[in-house]
Amino acid sequence: MPILFCNVGWMERYDGIDGDSIQRGGSYNKESIGHEVCNFSNIDGKVYGYVQPTGRIKIEKLGAAKTDDYVKGVTVIWTAGPDSGGTAVVGWYRNATVFREPQKIKNPTLLQKKNGLNSYRISASASDATLLPIEKRSFMIPRAVKGGIGQSNVWYADSPESEQIVAGVLRLVESGGAADRLPDVDDEAYGFEGNPRLIAHLRRERNASIIKKKKKDVLDKTGALKCEACGFDFAKIYGERGREFCEVHHLVPLNKSDGVIKTELSELAIVCSNCHRIIHRMNPMPSIPELAKVIRENRDA
């Protein structure tokens, strides 16, 4: 099934502007209400999506003939930019119809009239539309990098470099957007509400396979799992109960981690629970040496 990525303004519900707001998504949204405000409104069992491309949507890239006006059976991935930066998947249409040119809404509903909508680009059955709640919008799409979404609002993801990103997105779609709650995480302490980049970052840090490899690598080399910021050693303080216990922190800065597929052991650090939480409470997130300096200065004070 062909796939199309469409970048729009950030909203919570996409069901009209009342009680919601639209942020980012292009210069048009700074002065007017973007047409995407009703992208997930159920209109008589259908959804009508809008994205602002540069010119036409090139539906021949989705399998249509050059003479076709539309193509059916497309998976449309909707993305938007959260406050914390980057580009996150906010939802999708399955089995959508994508039109080359904007389509006029023939009999607009009261909701569409109230929001100034007169055209759409994509349609689908409402039962095939999924909008993720804000706390589950943690799949980040890289921009302005090889294989990433680039600067256009419409992305066909048809390069070999895009294959891993597309595969990850399709797994998200197949799961229905299901995401396990982050284990052993104090939401307030980490402050990740509304920060998809941080949620994605924490999920990478809780990859059981890479954590196991990192712990083994450090134990083989040093014989202990000491916090790289403060030096705390769980085994030394708690004995057998603390043996091989620690947390693992991903060193890649949040603004450079969008779309990260593979994590290298060199990108991980051994930390204690306290230091790990403090790292994620600080903005911008400090490096391990920077946090170690803070600890030394306060110990010496």
Q: What is the mean pLDDT of the chain?
A: 85
Q: How far are the Cα atoms of 1, 175, 183 from residue 179, in angstroms, in the given order?
A: 24, 8, 11
Structure confidence at residue 264 (pLDDT): 80
Structure confidence at residue 294 (pLDDT): 93
Q: How far are the Cα atoms of 18, 35, 77, 174 from residue 71, in angstroms, in the given order?
A: 32, 21, 16, 22
Joined together, the tokens standing for residue 254 give 């949040």
Under the banding of pLDDT at 50, 70 and 90, the label for residue 262 is low
Structure confidence at residue 132 (pLDDT): 95
CB-count burial class (<10 Å; 0-12, 13-18, 19+) for 112 = buried
Structure confidence at residue 192 (pLDDT): 42
CB-count burial class (<10 Å; 0-12, 13-18, 19+) for 58 = middle
Under the banding of pLDDT at 50, 70 and 90, the label for residue 205 is low
Whole-structure pTM value: 0.67
Please tell me the distance from the alpha carbon of residue 81 to that of residue 71, in angstroms, as a whole number. 27
Q: Each residue of 99-127: pLDDT tens digit?
A: 999 999 999 999 999 999 999 999 999 99
Residue corresponding to tokens 């009261």: 110
The H-or-E segment that residue 221 falls in is helix 208-222
The H-or-E segment that residue 121 falls in is strand 119-125
Which is nearest to 123 in space by CA: 91, 102, 98?
98
Instruction: Determine contact, residues 244/270, Cβ cutoff 8 Å.
Output: no
- Three-class HEC string of 171-207: HHHHCCCCCCCCCCCCHHHHCCCCCHHHHHHHHHHCC
Q: Where are the domains of the chain?
A: 3-174, 187-300
Q: Each residue of 153-192: pLDDT tens digit?
A: 999 999 988 888 899 899 999 988 865 444 444 443 444 4
Structure confidence at residue 204 (pLDDT): 59
Joined together, the tokens standing for residue 250 give 């991903």
Residue 16: is its pLDDT beyond 70? yes
